Amino acid sequence: MEQTSAAQCPMHEVRRIPNDGTPLCPSPTFAIWREEGAATPLEYSDGHQGLIINRYELAKMILEDKRFSQTPARMPAHHGEELTAQYGLSSGSDLDLGNVLGLDGEQHARIRRTILNRYSVRSARGYEADMKAIVAQQLKHLLAQPTPVDLTKHYAQPISAAGHVRVLGIPEQFRQEYSQLFVGESTTDEKVEFIRRVIAVKKDCLAEDVLSDLLRSDLLVPEIEGLSLSLFVSGRDSVAYMIATCMTALLNNPDQLKALRDDPTLIMGGMEEFMRVGAMFLTLFPRTATEDLELGGVRISAGQSVSVSPVAANHDPAQFPDPDKFDLSRDAFGHVGFGHGIHGCVGQQVARVEIREGVMQLIQGIPTLYLVHAEQNEPGPFAHPVATYEAGEVIVGWN
């Protein structure tokens, strides 16, 4: 086995996440790095060096390995752009106790356990009728718009926000403010203040939803607030991103669109292919090695930061033959578009239902849908705190 297949760059060039790719067409640099080694040195936004993991096999090994910690939080932000604290991460406050993605071991398990029930496959099935209705209503709204129209703004984002609010159980009177604060811009303080107001009201009207479960649980107040902050932030733009990106993929590839219209059952496996080729995360949240170790031929030293790249791993030809080909009928299960391991996405089963409904009702409801322009077909700036792609405008029309 090769030793230290973390490729060392000959000229000590500084390697940052390449920004010349798009959600559906990753930067060719990832393939070059992947061929050089399973891991490549990466410079983080605070100037320290770590590793980016480009190969599928090593990606999964790291995500399953308990010798990596979620702390300290170090974000590989895109070069030249400021990190903002607006995500409420690494705020150094009590609320960190509930920030699932920043926790290890027992505390992580304790927090995560309180929300699993509402996001299980079984629960997701239970939301199907509600999600169908949310999507149907939004489709009506879309059809009432003059064309050309932006799918992201008039369809994907409202569906994402409404689905999220439904599962979380954010009371009716707060919904508009939720969208303003969490889909739009706001500070962590404003978000936390909002969460406290929501919780104060919710306490007196517990129901069958995530917030009610949290309030019934034995979690401490800062844990509840911190977890709520993570949850309020989490699904807010990712589902919207995926609906926009799935639609861009289909409209870019008319043969795949036709195949899906002809055989709607393709969506079940096809969903995994969407998640594979359209992965939103260029890197996951960095992990830090807690001891010296060697994995898959790569030596990683204690204290070193490691960032798994779902975009790179999902295009590893060793796992997915002809990886750049978008093919809804391929077996794409096992992709890491939702991450993997104990921090794997909690909301993934619910997200699948929302995305599936969003895509299927749209392609079946508007048979003549065509693409005018998708911003995401050109490279654009990443979103933060870890580098993720943005949905961008997806301008469509119909006859």
Contacting positions for ligand HEM (CB under 6 A): 100-101, 112, 230-231, 234-235, 238-239, 242, 280-281, 284-285, 337-339, 343, 345-347, 350-351
Smaller CB distance to another protein: residue 124 or 363?
A: 124
What's the burial of 185, exposed, middle or buried (CB within 10 Å: 0-12/13-18/19+)?
exposed
When CB distances are held under 5 to 8 angstroms depending on the partner's kind, the choice from another protein, ligand HEM, none that residue 328 binds is: none
Of all residues in the shown chain, the one whose CB is closest to ligand HEM is 347
Smaller CB distance to ligand HEM: residue 40 or 228?
A: 228
Contact 76, 17 (CB under 8 A): yes
Q: How far is the CB of 230 from another protein (least distance, A)?
A: 16
Q: Is 340 in the site for another protein (CB under 8 A)?
A: yes
Range 108-116 contact pairs with CB under 8 angstroms and sequence separation of 24 or more: 108/70, 108/342, 108/343, 109/342, 110/219, 111/219, 111/223, 111/227, 112/342, 112/346, 114/213, 114/214, 114/217, 114/219, 114/227, 115/210, 115/213, 115/214, 115/227, 115/231, 115/346, 116/346
What are 363's two structure tokens?
A: 């392609």
Q: Is 64 in the site for another protein (CB under 8 A)?
A: yes
Within residues 297-336, the interface with another protein by CB under 8 A covers 333-334
Q: How far is the CB of 50 from ligand HEM (least distance, A)?
A: 14
**Residue in the structure block whose two tokens are 């909301």:** 347
Smaller CB distance to another protein: residue 116 or 302?
A: 116
Smaller CB distance to ligand HEM: residue 14 or 85?
A: 85
Residues 108-127, mask of contacts with another protein (x by CB under 8 A): ----xx-xxxxxxxxxx---
To which H or E segment does residue 306 belong?
Answer: strand 305-308
Within residues 163-202, the interface with another protein by CB under 8 A covers none
Q: How far is the CB of 122 from another protein (least distance, A)?
A: 5
Q: Is 102 in the site for another protein (CB under 8 A)?
A: no
Q: How far apart are CA 106 and CA 370, in angstroms?
A: 50
